[in-house]
Chain A
Amino acid sequence: MDYAALIVACASGDRTALKTLVDAEGGRMQGVARRMLRRADLAEDAVQDAFVLVWRRAGQFDPDRGSARGWLYTILRNRCLTMLRREEREVSTDAADVDTTPLPQVLASAYGGLDETTGLRQCLDRLDPPTRDAILASYVMGHSHGEIAGRLDSPLGTVKARVRRGLIKLRECLS
């Protein structure tokens, strides 16, 4: 599927093109958003917002400058991060909406889901497990340094330094 052409068509007001994108990627995007936000209702809001942004910003998309599919996910991830960092998380909700999968399981399934032949998987393999989990928790679940520090029961500064060292190793390994 030619995502770039569909985004360009959105820029000219073609709703069918947007619908095609929704049908092709909406389910996966809902999965990504639910994993980060841990709630089905918020995940739907995030995916809706992301597609509204795709629609409005389609004219700014430049196919020469990057992956069209990646563009969709960057918009979605940023929207989820904003919701995680900003919104009041006390609003009551149906228990059925809340994803209670334990965090280690979420991380293990993300890590395990990476193809073993990819560079990312091979280089993550070389990190010590707490550092790897910290990096995975930030990307996969949108955890902040503070949340990672709380979970590892380590000082914030230590966690920031550890993540940075891990990222340097990852860069060196991947380059």
Chain B
Amino acid sequence: MTERSLETLIDEVVLGLASDSDRARLDRMAAEDPELAARLEHVRQRFAPLDDTAAPIPLPDGFWSRLFDRLDTPDSTGASRATASDGAMSGGEGSSGVVDFGEARARLTRWRRATYGAVAATVLMAFVAGWSLITPANPVVVTLLLNPSGDAVALVESAPDNTTRITLLEKPDVPGGQVMQVWTKPDDAGPPVSLGLLSDGTSGTLATQGLTAPEAQQLYEITLEPAGGSPTNLPTGPILGVGRANGPVT
């Protein structure tokens, strides 16, 4: 990396313009390189006065008691996914601090969760039963994607080489200038990775290289992105459907 591109990377990480993967990369580099860590810290200090321009807002009632309750429950938040691999001074969430989409939303829509699960289980059983009779391919995992209302919108079948067949179960509402993009998280604690675009707005099969074989519980989702795909290479638009993979019954 050239000196200038490293400086730009540091600036963009501090400003918040860098992608999660770039941020994680810089945090990893800084964890091993005290000189780089010092430069990163220096740039952070440079912009920190802007934080002090935000007027303080009193914390809501009960803030501390809610926080207190969370301190002992390791799995109550995506925030707990931090690991020792994050740089000591990074303060960053790194690649391991990414909160998965469903989980973060669930905090606001907890009541829907039970419905999601029940619908998913029922529909999935129906599909796996029917599908295994009519498809010759042997997907290693099958994922039913549900929209925020809990309706099944797509079935995703993923082969060991990550060839991924997406069967839309509902006619998607894709506004002009936008496209459906399919994502997965091969590493649950890592960033989402694009599997490709469903450019013509219909079901399709996507092939991708370089990912580990999909596993049960792996997250899949489809988001709406600007034509040509997400400009940040991470999901930016609303979620059309999201779900976790299941291994088919054999």
Contact = CB atoms under 8 A, between A and B. Distances in A.
Nearest to A160: B17
A111 to B, nearest CB: 8
B11 A44 contact: no
Interface string B48-92: 111111111111100110111011000001111010101111111
Given A27-B58, A87-B104, 19 more contacts: A19-B64, A27-B56, A44-B59, A47-B59, A52-B70, A56-B79, A57-B82, A57-B86, A57-B91, A60-B84, A66-B44, A74-B91, A78-B91, A78-B92, A85-B234, A88-B148, A118-B49, A144-B232, A168-B7
11 contacts: A26-B63, A31-B56, A53-B97, A56-B80, A75-B93, A82-B97, A82-B99, A139-B15, A144-B17, A167-B11, A168-B4
B79 A49 contact: yes
A35 B56 CA distance: 10
A67 B231 contact: no
Contact of B50 (A51, A65, A140): A140
B16 A77 contact: yes
A30, A40, A49, A113, most chain B CB atoms within 10 A: A49
A15 to B, nearest CB: 7
Interface of B: 4, 7-8, 11-12, 14-17, 20, 23, 34, 37-38, 41, 44-60, 63-64, 66-68, 70-71, 77-80, 82, 84, 86-93, 97-99, 101, 104-105, 107-109, 148, 226, 231-232, 234-236, 238-239
Interface string A36-74: 000011011101111111011100111001110011111
Interface of A: 15, 18-19, 22, 26-28, 30-32, 34-35, 40-41, 43-45, 47-53, 55-57, 60-62, 65-67, 70-75, 77-79, 81-83, 85-91, 109-115, 118-121, 135-136, 138-140, 142, 144-146, 149, 156, 163-164, 167-168, 170-171, 174
Nearest to B5: A164
A104 to B, nearest CB: 15
